[in-house]
Amino acid sequence: MHEFNFYPTLGAGFRPELQGAFLMGADGVPVRGELHLRDGAITCESRNSEALGLSLLWPVAGCGTLQLETTRLPSREGPYHLHIELARHRLMRISFKREEWGLFDYPGLDEVAAAIDRARDLFVAALQHADDPSKAAELADQSLALSVSASEQLSRFHASVFLARRQQSGGLPRGFLGAGLPVRPSAAESLERAKTALDFVRVPFCWREIQPKEHEAGYDEADGLLRALSKTSLGVRGGPLLNFGVSWVPDWMYIWENDYDAIADFAKEHVRRTVKRYAGRIHNWIVASGLHADSVFPFTFEQIIDLTRMAAGIARQTSARAQVVLELTQPWGEYYARNQRSIPPLLYAEMAVQSGIAFDALGVRLIFGLAAEGFHARDFFQVSSLLDRLANLGKPVHVTAAAVPSQPSGGSSADALRQGGAWRDGWSEAVQADWLGELVEMALSKPYIESVSLQQIVDGGDDTVPSGGILRADLSAKPALKRLTDLRKRCQAAEAKR
């Protein structure tokens, strides 16, 4: 058993939330376990005998309320000090990434290096006050706040250096910024307002909407949207085609839930029919999304890989010119701690590569700030580190959906703990603009990232993040639209000068 003690350094009566908390084993893979919150302690019970870490939402002064994690620790009878272990893990990760990025003694990093040194000194001081846990917690919290801030600055510095290098070498991809455009009557009008920031749009082709009845597949609305898009200079990408989440699967499919062969046949026909219909217009397809995560059907590991192989193969056969993308959802794999029939996201991606599945690139969805598993807020140091891990698989990467709320989640850290966390001072239109701008710059600084796509253009047009658009529901512009438009123009100007 693992037990973590916490102390009221963050305000009288402070209690962390266990919604979205989970245990982690080697390589950051979530582990099944039971977590219990009582006065001043979190107890963690797991059948896994290896060293484990705890991941949970935690308020960090000046940085927001973020999903953070402790170091991996062996089980023992006595409790661990939660504040100290959170601070220890971030300092360890900073040391590792500074070496990986080659940023030790790099010119221009003096202030960041000094902040990291101060954070380390505070951490040591916390260890020296082991006989006074409350004082140790106070010092550890100060260390954590400094190290989280410094790690984000480190990520931002790394992005600025390598984005400049990519632009100078002509390595910035054409058409790098897009957004999802659901098939809705108002889609064309919202696109007209937002097109200054975009190079392409992604049309989802949701199976549930295309084939609401078993023998009736309708593409009339999608055809109309594609005709409207043909009059613009914007590129068009398609998908996801296959997603077995509850909002994607047609209702009539449930009668086949115990017949894998029938499900696979219906899925194959949907992929083939859709790709064939738009083969002359769309040359980038997300053929499968989140097959590794939750599904309404009880697929085995082998069936998940088989469906992935089928979708990629059919798309390649039907449209030889198309780029085939596999999309990872909930990329930290929180769902795996609850659903052992699923597959951790990086293991799924690795198996897809090793199994010889015919796909060209990986996609990853980065959606934060929701009170739901897999969507808790994370800082850019964590995001940058995740993207670097994906690069190790040897495939190009697309950020296929990016979104955060633009509405405040409340005025206190307690509100943020209940509502999925927050970045900096809490979600607002200005914070959303900063977050999206920094994400795009950070992603494009990495030579293996080929594009970034927003989850949605307009508020209310997507159920995932109701306030995640760059346009309000009345189609008026948010600050994020100008931020992304200016960023796109700067990148285009840099490419023109080269």
pLDDT per residue over 12-67, tens digit each?
557 888 988 999 999 899 999 999 998 889 999 988 888 999 999 999 999 999 99
pLDDT of residue 427: 92
Of the listed ranges 168-182, 246-260, 285-299, 440-454, the least confidently predicted one is 168-182
Q: Do 217 and 277 form a contact (C-beta atoms < 8 A)?
A: no
Give the pLDDT score at 285. 97
Please spell the DSSP secondary structure of 177-221, one letter per residue: EEEE--S-TTHHHHHHHHGGG-SEEEE---HHHH-SBTTB---HH
Handedness of CA 28, 347, 312, 207 (dihedral sign): negative
CATH superfamily ID and name for 170-497: Glycosidases (3.20.20.80)
Residue 275 has pLDDT above 80, yes or no: yes
Average pLDDT, the chain: 91
**pLDDT score of 14:** 74
pLDDT tens-digit map of 99-112: 999 888 888 899 99
Q: How confident is the model at residue 83 (pLDDT cuts 50, 70, 90)?
A: very high
Residue 428 clears pLDDT 60, i.e. is over it: yes
Q: What is the pLDDT of residue 10?
A: 63
CA distance 180 to 35: 37
Q: Please name which of 223, 308, 214, 328 lies closest in space to residue 262, comparing C-alpha atoms.
A: 214
Chain center to CA of 114? 30
Is the model's pLDDT at 454 over the cut of 60? yes
How would you classify residue 431: left for phi > 0, otherwise alpha for psi between -120 and 50, otherwise beta? Answer: alpha
Cα-only R_g, the chain: 23
> Which pLDDT belongs to residue 410?
56
Q: How confident is the model at residue 186 (pLDDT cuts 50, 70, 90)?
A: low
What are the φ/ψ torsions at residue 473 (nearest 5 degrees)?
Answer: -60, -30
Q: Is the pLDDT of residue 124 over 70?
A: yes
**Bridge partners, 288 (sequence order):** 242, 326
Question: How is 225-278 classified by DSSP, letter by letter?
Answer: HHHHHHTSS-EEEE---B--STTTS-GGGGGGTT-HHHHHHHHHHHHHHHHHHT
Q: Is the pLDDT of residue 417 over 90?
A: no
Domain boundaries for CATH 3.20.20.80 within the chain: 170-497
